[in-house]
Chains A and B, each alone.
Chain A
Amino acid sequence: MNPWLYSAISGFIVLNAVIGMVTYVTLLERKFAARMQSRIGPYRVGPHGLLQPIADALKLMMKEDIVPRLADRRVFNLAPIVFLVPCMLIFATIPFAPGLGVADLNIGLLFFLAVSSMEIVGLFMAGWGSNNKYALLSAMRAVNQIISYDLPFIFAALVPVLLAGSLKLSDIAAAQSGLWFVFYPVIGQLAFLAFVVSTLAAENRVPFDILEAESELVAGFRVEYSGMKFALIQLGEYAHVIGSSFLGAILFLGAWAGPGPEWLGPLWMLLKAMFLFLLITWVRWSFVRIRVDQILTLSWKVLMPATLLLLVSTAIVVVWRAGV
C-alpha cells in the first residue's frame, strides 16, 4: 500500500480510537474513584451510567464559549490546540501489537519523550493568555514541575532501553517475551517505581497536582476556558495520561505478551495500559497534595540521583552480562 495513504488512514483510526477511549476512560475513572469512596458514581444516564461520557461531551459542546475581555485572544484561542496536538502525537509511535501502529520509528521512545514534554508550551500559553492570576500561577508551577520531573521520567524510561538495547518501542516489547522488565531482579522494580512516580508528577496528577490545586487555584490554567476549548484541554490531559500508561505497559509490563493466541495481543496491551491508568487513579484517591518545595525536593534530591544511579548500574549489569 502507498505509505502516505497507510499513514493517513492509520493515523485517522488511532486518533479517533484515542478520543473514544478518553471519553470512556473518564467514566472508568469516575466509577473507580466512586467505589473507593463508597459511592456508586454515574448511574442515571443509561444503564449503570454507560452513556454518561456522551452526555458530558454533548453538554460541553453546547456550552457557551467565553473569552475574557482582557485575555490575549489569539494566544487564548490557540492554546488548547497547541496543548492537544502533542498529547495526540505521542500515540504515533506506540505499537499496539506487532506491526500495528502508525509509525514504529527506530527512535520511538525518544520521539515520545520529546513530544510529550511539548504540551507544556500549550499549557503555558493557556495560563498566560487567560490574563488571570490563578491561571498564570498555575502555568508557572506547571513549567517548574514538568521540567523537574522530565529528567527522572526519562532516566526511568531509559532503563528498559538499556536492557533491550534499542530505542524502538517494538524491539523493547519483543525483548520482554521471556521476562517482563518489571520482574527483572531489583532494577526492574526500582525503575518501575520511579517511572510511576515521575509519570504521576509529569501528568500533574494528585499528589503532585499543585498546578490545578483545587482549593487554591480553582482549576489552574484552564480556569477561564469553557465549552469546547475546555473539552479539548481535558481531552489532551487524559490522552497524555493514557499515552503514558501505554508507554509504561510497553516498557515494563511486556506490552502484548500474555497467554492465549497471538491475536489477543492488543487486548493484553489495553488491559495492561488500563491497569497502569487505574494505578495512577488509585494513587490519586489515596493521598493528599504535597507542597511545592516537597515536590521539588523529591524530584531533584531523591528521584534524580536515584534514577541516575539506577541507569548507571543498569548499564554495568548489561555490560557485565554481555561480557560473561
Chain B
Amino acid sequence: MSKPNPNSPVAVIRAVAKAMWITFLNLFRKPVTVHYPDQERKYPDRYRGLLALVYEKDTGEEACIGCRLCEYVCPPAVIKVEMLKSEKRNYAKSFSLELYACEFCELCVQVCPTDAIVMMKSFDLATADRREMLLDKDRLHAIGLQYQQSWATGNLLRAMQGPPKMARPEEAHAAKPAGSEA
C-alpha cells in the first residue's frame, strides 16, 4: 500500500481542518501571561539575579573581608576591591561592581570565603542612566537588605562541589537548600 499523496484534496482538507482545530482549542486555554509589575513569578531557589553584599548574621558586621578573590575570578573584571587592614580581621575599604558589564556567572559567589557576596532573587534594576549601574559598597549593602537572598552562598556551593565527605550531622544540615547562613 503506497503512502497517501499529501497534495490530494482529502489530505489538504484534513490538514486545514487540523490546523484550525488546534487554534480553536487554544482559544479556550488559559493564557500563560504573567502580569509582571502586578504579579511576580516565583523565582527558582538558586536564582542568579542582582549581586549584593550582606552583613554577618550574628555580629551584624560587614561580612566582606576584602580578600579580592572575587576580583581575581571575575571574567569580565567588573569587580574592584581595596582591602583595609585591621587588627582582628580585614575589611573592604571600597568595593565597586559595574553591573552593566556583569555577566551574572556567579563565580564571585562561589569563591567568597565568608559568604559576603551573594545573589538576590530580583532583576529589577532598570534605569535610564548607565552610571546608576555602577554599584559601590553602600549600594550593594542596600540591595542586600532590600531583596530576598538566593540560596547559593560560597560555602554551600563549595560543599556541594567538593569530594564527598563522611556525613556528619551538622554538615548534612548545612548543605540543605533551606538553611542559608549568609
Contacts and interface: CB of A to CB of B under 8 A. Distances in A.
Interface of A: 32, 34-40, 43, 282-283, 285-287
Interface stretch (B23-31, B61-69, B70-78, B160-168): B23-31
Contacts of B35: 43
A40 B31 contact: yes
A286 B31 contact: no
A39 B26 contact: no
B19 interface: yes
A39 B34 CA distance: 9
10 contacts: A36-B27, A38-B26, A39-B31, A39-B33, A282-B24, A286-B19, A286-B20, A286-B22, A286-B23, A287-B19
Given A286-B20, A287-B19, A36 B31 contact: no
B26 A36 contact: yes
Given A32-B27, A38-B32, 15 more contacts: A35-B26, A35-B27, A35-B31, A36-B27, A38-B26, A38-B30, A39-B31, A43-B35, A282-B23, A282-B24, A285-B23, A286-B22, A286-B23, A287-B16, A287-B19
Top 8 closest pairs, chain A to chain B, by CB? A286-B23, A286-B19, A40-B33, A40-B31, A36-B23, A286-B20, A38-B32, A36-B26
A30 to B, nearest CB: 13
B37 to A, nearest CB: 10
A260 to B, nearest CB: 27
A36 B26 CA distance: 5
A35 B32 CA distance: 10
A197 to B, nearest CB: 10
Interface in B9-26: 16, 19-20, 22-24, 26
A306 B24 CA distance: 28
A282 B20 CA distance: 7
A273 B151 CA distance: 56
A286 B29 CA distance: 16
A50 to B, nearest CB: 16
A32 B26 CA distance: 11
A43 B34 CA distance: 12
